Amino acid sequence: MEGFAEASLGRLFVVRLPHGGDLLESIKGFAVERGVEAGVLWVIGAVRKASISFYDQAEKSYVKQSFEEPMEILACTGNIGRLKGETLVHAHITLAKRNGETVGGHLEEGTTIFSAEMFLLELKKVALNREYDETTGLNLFRL
């Protein structure tokens, strides 16, 4: 057991994210605006273009990739926590191209919304603070 926390359920938001907006920034903006400090989220919809990354475990760095084409958001799931006192959205996304082929990865800025429906569940009585982890090179939950 690496550590865990028990949370209570807070508010549940159903959100239509803005056409033409940046997906990651829009999620963060909504969370900040509504004072959501911890939460879990799900999004489906479509993007005009996408920017995602893959974490190279040996290099301990993110390798970015961009797709300049419309795609469906089959699944985008993530969480909202805090890093150095700032809101941090960590989300992963699976996208489908016109021919059904899928790509996916860690959601980056540069993903433009065509349409996006989000369910955001706020978590209470828990602090999802992140701290640097030497082993992985990632900012993981301090639990």
CB of 101 to Zn ion, least distance (A): 21
* Beta carbon of residue 19, minimum distance to Zn ion (angstroms, whole number): 25
Query: Where does this chain touch Zn ion (CB under 5 A) — which range of 14-22, 27-35, 72-80, 98-106?
Result: 98-106
Q: Minimum distance from CB of 99 to Zn ion (Å)?
A: 26
- The pairing of strands 102-107 and 71-83 is unpaired
Place of tokens 């907006």: 21
Stretch that binds Zn ion, among 2-10, 99-107, 109-117, 125-133 (CB under 5 A): 99-107
**Should residue 130 be labelled a site residue for Zn ion when binding is judged by CB under 5 A?**
no
The torsion region of residue 48 among left (phi > 0), alpha (psi -120 to 50) and beta comes to: alpha
Q: Is 106 in the site for Zn ion (CB under 5 A)?
A: yes
Question: What is the rounded CA–CA span in Å between residue 138 and residue 116?
Answer: 28
Which DSSP category does 33 fall into? H
CB of 56 to Zn ion, least distance (A): 12
How many Cβ atoms from other residues are within 10 Å of residue 137's Cβ? 16
Site for Zn ion, rule CB under 5 A: 106
